[in-house]
Structures are given as structure tokens and as C-alpha cells.
Amino acid sequence: MGFSNSQESHPADLPAALTIADSIRHHNLPGAFTEPVAYAKEQSILSEGELATDIHIVVSGAVRLFKMMPDGRRQIIGFAFPGDMLGLSLDDRYLHSAEAISPVILRHMGRRQLAALLERDHGLRKALLAWTMTELQIAQDQMLLLGRKDATERLSSFLLTLLQRRNHSTEDRHLPLAMTRTDIADYLGLSMETVSRTISLLKGRRLIRPLADHSIELLNVPGLRDLAAGNAIAVQLDP
Amino acid sequence: MGFSNSQESHPADLPAALTIADSIRHHNLPGAFTEPVAYAKEQSILSEGELATDIHIVVSGAVRLFKMMPDGRRQIIGFAFPGDMLGLSLDDRYLHSAEAISPVILRHMGRRQLAALLERDHGLRKALLAWTMTELQIAQDQMLLLGRKDATERLSSFLLTLLQRRNHSTEDRHLPLAMTRTDIADYLGLSMETVSRTISLLKGRRLIRPLADHSIELLNVPGLRDLAAGNAIAVQLDP
DNA sequence: CGACCTGTTGATCGTGGTCAAGATTAGTGG
DNA sequence: CCACTAATCTTGACCACGATCAACAGGTCG
């Protein structure tokens, strides 16, 4: 879930960052997860406050994780893609809700079974700690974005973290957007109209090119990086 | 660092939430930390991007953790009080900066020594995982606050989490504020003028009473809870 | 006691939200 | 496969919340 915008660095003596799915594959834990379960687009996977019976791993598709306020305001906390985990929580209730953005396939595992595995498998413990710390870092970057960045900076940051996430074969600047404008808005703390306007603005400045199939081509990654970091001066408003 | 606004729930089979300091005391790890080190008010403790050589435990005083943008915009990621840890990171660089808000006393421990302790001590590993997950939960609550709450809701949430943090002997509604208005503003994603105005507003509605010594008395906790949750309708704008 | 820092309050402005009207795309069924 | 409908997206006009600029008050410390 979520994305980090920080520069990557070399892992030292603390556990390295792998996806949980990687880790479970790597540590060869057979039969830990159920068979794949399919969810339709827009289907609810779990809800904030519910009893946290299971954790889930995304096999395919995309998921949004979010919190709601009583009057309907929504904050998307992150997105989950294949390899990502959802539903982990310290207490026995889920911390946020999750819905399928596209058709999704998940595997899940009982909470007590995870706890038992963790008791046995040192590598898995390390992987879980690494995952949690990575998520924390992502969340803290997002706090800076939500608290202090303007709409253009938010959009640029979002696109770049998506690019990094999908760590494309180095020079593929083509981003498929699984989520709607409304989802992006609720992730970036904006209205969907502002997201739309800001995309048009970046398009006008030749930084991106929105394509017909809900995907975006990044035409000027360094320019986007300047914007995302808040060096707005460095980017020309050329004709 | 930081605070959680979520309702507390019963810990289940995953590790319980203790402060790291508690855990180290509890697990009886002698000589793990250095002797206490004093920092003056406003003194820098560590800086984002620096080599992460040590982790620190707050013995006394208050610390702000923050990220800066190149043009000086600041987002405070959390505050650290006695018993809290700072400086933990997956890679070898600090993720954010830390400064003493008041005179502060810290103990620290080398990164490799922590890693060695973690290899040996199962309980400490659990405590560290619990700590990280608690911080993640706090950060996600803060994402909702920063992305979707208005100034009044932010202030109310902040005061309530402070109250909960300092888990006062049940009925003490008296909050000493260690930080300035500017710090609160940079934590809540507001300007310091808006923080000041919002405090005056809550004071006008008889929800709080700011005292002379930088502390605030909470006069109507249920009312503040309604505001914090976004049930603004439930609160009267009485004369 | 005076200088400075922190906080309060007022006046004005601007970014982004809201409301609204079209345009485009996707979905559905004949 | 196309026609019709519905959802998503774009763009425009206006508005409001909170930012900025500014003046002043209170508190703190040398």
C-alpha cells in the first residue's frame, strides 16, 4: 500500500525491505495462505473497526485502503498492488477499510496462523518489521505532502511515486492509472475537479501526456521531480 | 512521537504496545544505552538524510520530529516525550530531523548494537514491531486529519490525542503544552495565525480554557470529541 | 526597565472547493 | 456492431476557508 517518495538508500544491518509475499515465498511457507479468492470491482474486502480475522495478500488487481468520516469525507491511506499485504493490525480490529478498484484476486491467512508463523520464522519476523517500517516512512512522506504541498506538487509527487512503485524497466515512462480521479483526489487531499485541472495544467506544460486508456506518459521526469520537491521556480510556465 | 486518535482496543495475539523504553527496562538489558546526554532548548538532535548512527530514547523534555522542504516549509511528523524513541530507520539515513522543544535529556544506543540486541532478544523484537505498528496507525490517523479535516477539527483532534497521550489520572483535564503555536501549526498543516484563531474560537464556545502558563484546560471533552470526529452539527454555536 | 519573542486580532487575498454545464468514455442491451 | 445510457472527466463561474500581511498586546529575559 502507498508509495515512498524518498530516495532509496542501501539497507544496512536492519532487515531488508521485501514484499511480504516475496518473503513468504522466499522462506518457503507452504499452505500458509488459502486458495485465491476473487473480488469484483468496487467490492468491499474489509471494513475499519471490523474484527480483524485475516490478513490478505494481493495476487492481482488493485485495492484502495481508506478511512471515512461520518459525513462521508474519505481519505485514501494507500493503494495495494500485487505482492502487497492488507489487513494487518495490532489490535483485533482493522484500522481502515479496503475495496477492490479493479477485479482483484487475494489470498488470505488467519491472524492466529500468522502469529504462529511469526513465532517460528525469524526471517518472516524481519520481513514484517521491514514492511511496517517502510509503510511508516511512506506515511510520513504523505504527511508532508498533505500538510504542506500545493496541488501541483501533490500531483507530481503522486505520479513519481507511482512510477517508482511500478519500477519500470528503467526507461518506460508509461503509467497505467488503475484508479479514478476521485480516488486520486481522496488520496491527495484534493477535490476531483482540482485533480483534473492540475492534470490539464501539467499537460499544458508538456510534463505529462494523458492517454485515452486511463494511462499517463511522463514526458519530463526531472521537471516533475523539481515540482514534487517544491522547486517550483525551476519550472518554466512557457507558452 | 505522534499520537493516535483511534479508539483503543484489546490487544490480541500480536505483540502488545509498550514504549521501547518500557520494553528495554522490562527485558532487563543493562548497559545497552549510554549515560544521559543533555540538549538545550532548540538544539538539533539529528537531521534528515544524515547517517543514522544511533537511536535515542527521551528521558525528559519534549522533542519535535519534522521534515523540511527546500523553501523552508516544515511539516512536523510528531512529538516525542519521555519514554519515546527517535532515530530508528530501515536504511542508514535518518528519515526526519529532530530538535529539542524544551531542555531535553536523552540516552542513545548504536545502530549495530540495537541490531545485535534484536537478534538476541525476542521480546524486544516484538516490542519494536508493536512500536512501529502503533506509529503507523498514528500516521494514518494524521493522514485523515491533514487530508480531510478543517481547522477546528484538527485542533480538537490534537488536544484530545495529547490528553490521551498523557493518560492523565482519568479526570485531569489539564494539558501542559510543551510546544509553541508555530509547532502546532506545522503539525496540523495550518498557519500559526489559524491555530491562534481556532484556540480563541474553542475558548469562545467554552470548550477549552487557555491558562497563563502555556497550558489548556479541557472544559468539554465530549464536545471536543464531536468536533474532532466531524460531527460539527452536534455542537452549538451558542452565545 | 527595555528589547525581543510569542501570541492575538484585524484586513485582505488566493488557492482550491463547490456548484453547474458539457464532453468523453465505458457499459449495456437490442 | 451500433445505439442509448450512465458514469467519468473536463472546464467554467463563483465562493469560502485559511494564508498572508500587518499592527499590537502580553510575557520573558537580559
CATH 2.60.120.10 fits B20-142, yes or no: yes
- Type of residue numbered A29: L
The pLDDT of residue B53 is 93
For residue B212, count CB atoms less than 10 angstroms from its CB and return exposed for 0-12, middle for 13-18, buried for 19 or more. exposed
Q: At the topology level of CATH, where does B150-234 sit?
A: Arc Repressor Mutant, subunit A (1.10.10)
Residue B185 CB: number of other CB atoms within 10 A? 23
- Domain residue ranges of chain B, discontinuous segments joined by +: 20-142, 150-234
Using alpha carbons, list the distances in angstroms from residue A125 to A89, A168, B225: 15, 29, 37
The pLDDT of residue A163 is 93
Whether B77 contacts chain A with CB within 8 A? yes
Partner-chain contact B90 A10, CB within 8 Å: no
- Type of residue numbered B43: Q
Which nucleotides of chain D have an atom under 7 angstroms from any protein CB?
A: 8-13, 17-22, 27-28
Partner-chain contact B69 A148, CB within 8 Å: yes
B34-56 in b/e form (b: 16+ CB < 10 A) is eeeeebeeeeebbebeeebebbb
Query: Nine-digit cell at B179?
Result: 510546544
Q: Is A210 (CB) below 7 Å from strand C? A: no
Q: Is A132 (CB) below 7 Å from strand D? A: no
Using an 8 Å CB-CB cutoff, list chain B residues near A140. 67, 77, 95-96, 139
Using an 8 Å CB-CB cutoff, list chain B residues near A137. 89-90, 95
Q: Report, as ranges of residue numbers, the positions in chain B whose pLDDT lies below 70.
A: 1-31, 167-171, 232-239
CA of B65 to C1' of C4 (A): 26
> Which one of A134, A140, A188 has the shortest CB-CB distance to B90?
A134
B206: left (phi over 0), alpha (psi -120 to 50) or beta: left
Helices (H), chain B: 20-26, 111-120, 122-148, 151-165, 181-188, 192-204, 221-229
| Dihedrals phi, psi of A24, to nearest 5 degrees | -70, -40
Which nucleotides of chain C have an atom under 7 angstroms from any protein CB?
A: 6-11, 15-20, 25-26
A141-185 pLDDT, tens digit each:
999 999 999 999 999 999 999 999 876 666 678 899 999 999 999
Chain A segment 24-63 residues within 8 A of B by beta carbon are none
Secondary structure (DSSP) of A9-38: --B-SSPP---HHHHHHHTT-TT-SPSPEE
Q: Domain A149-233's class?
A: mainly alpha
Q: Is pLDDT at A2 greater than 60 in this prediction?
A: no
The pLDDT of residue B32 is 74
A62-99 pLDDT, tens digit each:
999 999 999 999 999 999 999 999 999 988 899 999 99
The pLDDT of residue B172 is 72
The more confidently predicted of residues A238 and A60 is: A60
The pLDDT of residue A169 is 60
In angstroms, the CA A46 to CA A66 distance is: 10
Kindly report the length of chain B: 239
Q: Across chain A, what does the average pLDDT equal? A: 86
A189, A194, A227, A191: which is closest to A208 by C-alpha?
A227
